[in-house]
Structure 1
Amino acid sequence: MDLDQLRTFDRIVRDQSFTKAAAYLNITQATASMRIRALEQLLGVTLFVRGRTVTLTDQGMTFLPYARRIIGTAQEGREALRRVERGRVSIASLRTLVSPLITESLIRFQEHYPSVDVVVREGRQGQIAAMLHEREVEMGILCWPNIDPLVVDLEPLVIMRERVPLVVAADVAARLSSRPEIAEVLALVPRVIALRWWQADPETAAALVRLAKTSVELPTGPARRLAIKGEGLGFFVNSAIADDVKAGRLVEIAPVDFEPLHRDTAMVVRSLAALERPMLADFIREIALECAKMGEIIDDRLDKVVPRKPWPKPAIPHP
């Protein structure tokens, strides 16, 4: 079985004609017939009912989706090889960090590497660890330190610390005393919003859930809307609610009996050898600039591992 046989099979199904399929593929009708006979002999079934119009047998109908899957996979593989020839970097990030860290850094990076393909995947901690483990991506942005048992040999390049304030709706905050205790806050909101910002919840976050009458675990978007409506409070990473706080929709509060929280995240690679690719090292540096704007950099090993080099000259497109 080869791709020519499968493509011929697929084309005949589409055109319902050996003659039309042969013309489309730029082969003779005899060649098209020979390919299908060889495929039928290999599979041990008859694929077509030949007649004035060509239709699939039950066996042909069953085989068709598998043939198209093989053709599609081959096309994807060929396109992936073409991208490698142009240059390609692939990273994965926690969902909450894709927008604040990747957008601007990607624009700057592609000004200098306009022909390089960039693949950015998002997910939870375990999904990113799995992508690194399977080498689907070259660099990951995840919570640090990593306690996922799947991947233990990660090399941190830049570690960022981000505040995780407790926030409530503006009208709820207006009803609180100047130095509230958590019991006063919980008396004004019906539920605690639990968001999995960490691999394991800190005791402060776990205690808040235990003290609440009810709790709900939600993704970031619905959780923000619930908090803005005054229907809950929760610990949000600063980047997720900075615009809401600035606009006055949410207000940070600091109960006197609750400690402030933070989250550490890191840009990591499986091996420092990955940084031998200048384009990957340069992209990581651009992301590091956004990390410095968003939080506190508590460890930066990138320049120690790979000294900074001048940007490559932008490629000049052919006329």
Structure 2
Amino acid sequence: MDIDQLRTFDRIVRDQSFTRAAAYLNITQATASMRIRALEQLLGVTLFQRGRTVTLTDQGMTFLPFARRIIGTAQEGREALRRVERGRIAIASLRSLVSPLITEPLLRFQEKYPSVDVVVMEGRQSQIAAMLHERDVEMGILCWPNLDPLVVDLVPLLIMRERVPLVVAPEIAAKLPSQPSIEDVLALVPRVISLRWWQAEPETASALVRLARTSVELPTGPARRLALKGEGLGFFVNSAIADDVKAGRLVEIAPTNFEPLNRDTAIVVRSLAALEREMLSDFIAEIARECESVGVIIENRLAS
């Protein structure tokens, strides 16, 4: 069985004609017939009912989806090889950091490498760890230190510390005293929003949920909208709500009896050998530049 036989089989099914299929494939009708006979002999079945019209037998109908799956896989393989020839980079990031850390570096990178394919995947900590483990991606951006037991040999190239402020809608902030306690805040806000930014939740965040009348756990997008409507408060990583705070749509508060929080994230690879790929090394350097505007760099192997 070869791919030409399968393509001929598929084309005859589509055209319902040996003659039209042969013309489409730019082969003779005799060649098309020979390929189908060889395929039928190999499978030990008759694939077509031949007559004034060409129709599939029951065996041919059963075999058709498998043939198309093989053809599709071969096409995907050829396309993957073409991408490798012109260059390809695959990375993964926590969802909350794709926009602030990757968008602008990607534009700068593709100015330098206009023909290189770039794949950016997003997900939670465990999903990114799995992508690195399966080598689906070459670099990841995730919480640090990594506590996922699936991947224990990650190398941090850069570690960034980002503030995680507690925010509320401006109409709620306006009702608070100048130095509010967390009890003052919770008396005005119906619910606490939990976003699970951390692998192991800090006691401060856990305590806030325990003190609240009610809590909800949401992804960033709907959580932010809830906070904007004054229907909840929560700890948001600064990059997710910096524009809202600057525009006055949200207000950062600092209750007297609650410690401020931070989140550490890292650019990681499975091995420093990954940096031997100039394209990947350049892309990581562009992302590292963006990290400086988002948080505080507390470790940077790229600078050495």
Counterpart of 1:73 in structure 2 is: 73
Cα distance in 2, alignment partners of residues 240 and 83 from structure 1: 33
Q: Closer, same or farther in 2 for the Cα pair 1:207/1:43, shift >3 Å?
A: farther
Correspondence for 1:258: 258
Q: Match for residue 38 of structure 1?
A: 38
CA distance in 1, matches of 2:256, 2:298: 26
Q: Name 2:177's counterpart in structure 1.
A: 177
The answer on 1:60 being equivalent to 2:60 is yes
1:85 maps to 2:85: yes
Question: Which runs of structure 2 are paired with 1:134-283 in the superposition (5 Å)?
Answer: 134-283=134-283
Amino acid across the alignment from 2:199 = Q
- Give the deviation of 1:49 after TM superposition: 2.3
How far apart, in 1, do the equivalents of 2:273 and 2:283 lie? 15
Q: Distance in 2 between matches of 1:48 and 1:217?
A: 57
SS of the equivalent of 2:91 reads: strand
1:131 aligns with 2:131: yes
Following superposition, the deviation at residue 31 of structure 1 comes to 1.6
2:15 aligns to what? 15
Deviation, 1:170, is 0.9
Structure 1 portions without partners, runs of 5+: 305-319
1:101-112 correspondence runs (5 A): 101-112=101-112
Take 2:198 and 2:58, find their aligned partners in 1: how far apart are those partners?
53
RMSD: 1.2
CA distance in 1: counterparts of 2:206 and 2:44, whole angstroms: 62
SS in structure 2 of the partner of residue 35 of structure 1? helix
Partner Cα separation in structure 2 for residue 193 and residue 49 of structure 1: 64
Taking the aligned partners of 2:57 and 2:169, their CA distance within structure 1 comes to: 64
Deviation at 1:108, TM superposition (A): 1.1
Q: Secondary structure at the match of 1:71?
A: helix
Aligned mates of 1:296, 1:277 — CA distance in 2:
27
State how many pairs are aligned. 304
Listed one character per residue, the Cα deviations across residues 85-105 of structure 1 (whole Å, up to 9, x for unaligned) are 112221111111111111111
- The DSSP-based 3-state class of the residue aligned with 1:180 is coil
Aligned residue for 2:303, secondary structure, equals: helix
2:293 matched to 1:293? yes
Cα deviation, 1:160-193, whole Å, max 9, x if unaligned, reads 1111111111111111111111111111111111
1:303 is aligned to 2:299? no
How far has the Cα of 1:30 moved from its partner? 1.8
Alignment partners' CA distance in 1, 2:152 and 2:173: 43
Residue aligning to 1:98: 98
Report the alpha carbon displacement of residue 38 of structure 1 after superposing the two structures with TM.
2.2
Cα displacement (A) at 1:133 = 0.8
TM-score by length of 2: 0.97
Q: Which ranges in structure 2 are unaligned for 5 or more consecutive residues?
A: none
Structure 1 distance, partners of 2:63, 2:103, is: 43
State the Cα deviation string for residues 206-244 of structure 1 (Å, max 9, x = none). Answer: 111111121111111111101111111111001111111
Which letter does structure 1 place at the counterpart of 2:245? V
Q: Deviations over 1:37-63 (max 9, x none)?
A: 222233333322222222223332232
Q: Determine helix, strand or coil for the equivalent of 1:204.
A: helix
CA distance in 1, matches of 2:189, 2:68: 55
- State the secondary structure of the residue aligned to 1:302: coil
Task: Tell me, in whole angstroms, the C-alpha distance in 1 between the residues paired with 2:228 and 2:128.
Answer: 30
In the alignment, the residues of structure 1 paired with residue 36 and residue 186 of structure 2 have an alpha-carbon distance, to the nearest angstrom, of 72
Secondary structure of 1:287 counterpart: helix
Superposed displacement of residue 283, structure 1: 0.7
Helix, strand or coil for the counterpart of 2:189? coil
Separation (CA, whole Å) in 1 of partners of 2:257 and 2:56: 73
Counterpart amino acid of residue 257 in structure 1:
N
- CA distance, structure 2, for counterparts of residue 173 and residue 59 of structure 1: 71
Separation of aligned partners in 1, 2:208 and 2:60: 61
